[in-house]
């Protein structure tokens, strides 16, 4: 491209700041990544993830169990009608099924991501 005028092009200062000079060496952005990882690192990450997931879902199932126990105690102190008691039992069962389904989905998703990262060599 040629210029018809005698004007010099205006170059933003950001372009000059990005050009390394004698006072600023070139930085290697991958310097921290070149460090070799321990071969157990991916396995330890999976175990840590599984432990955290187990804790979360065990907490959820424990809360469902405590609520069920409280409903049973309430029912033993003051008898609830059969319809209400059946509804509470159905609610407990639904919550347990939801927890189990979420556990399966999270475990399969984590396993899939782990396998993909091992196959790609990201880990």
pLDDT in tens, the chain (123 residues): 555 555 555 656 655 555 555 555 556 555 555 556 666 777 788 788 788 878 888 888 888 888 888 888 888 898 888 898 889 889 888 988 888 888 788 888 878 888 888 888 775
- Specify the pTM: 0.50
Give me the residue spans of the domains in the chain. 44-123
Interatomic CA distance for residues 77 and 70, integer angstroms: 11
Distances (CA, A) of 115 to 7, 42, 61, 84, 120: 59, 10, 28, 46, 9
């Amino acid at each position: 491209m040629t210029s018809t005028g005698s004007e010099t092009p205006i170059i933003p200062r950001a372009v000059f700041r990005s050009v390394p000079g004698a006072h600023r060496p070139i930085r290697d952005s991958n310097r921290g990544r070149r460090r070799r990882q321990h071969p157990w690192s991916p396995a330890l990450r999976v175990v840590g993830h599984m432990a955290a997931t187990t804790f979360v879902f065990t907490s959820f199932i424990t809360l469902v169990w405590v609520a069920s126990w409280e409903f049973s105690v309430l029912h033993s102190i003051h008898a609830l009608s059969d319809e209400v008691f059946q509804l509470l039992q159905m609610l407990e069962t639904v919550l347990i099924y939801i927890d189990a389904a979420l556990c399966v989905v999270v475990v399969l998703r984590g396993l899939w991501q782990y396998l993909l990262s091992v196959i790609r060599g990201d880990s």
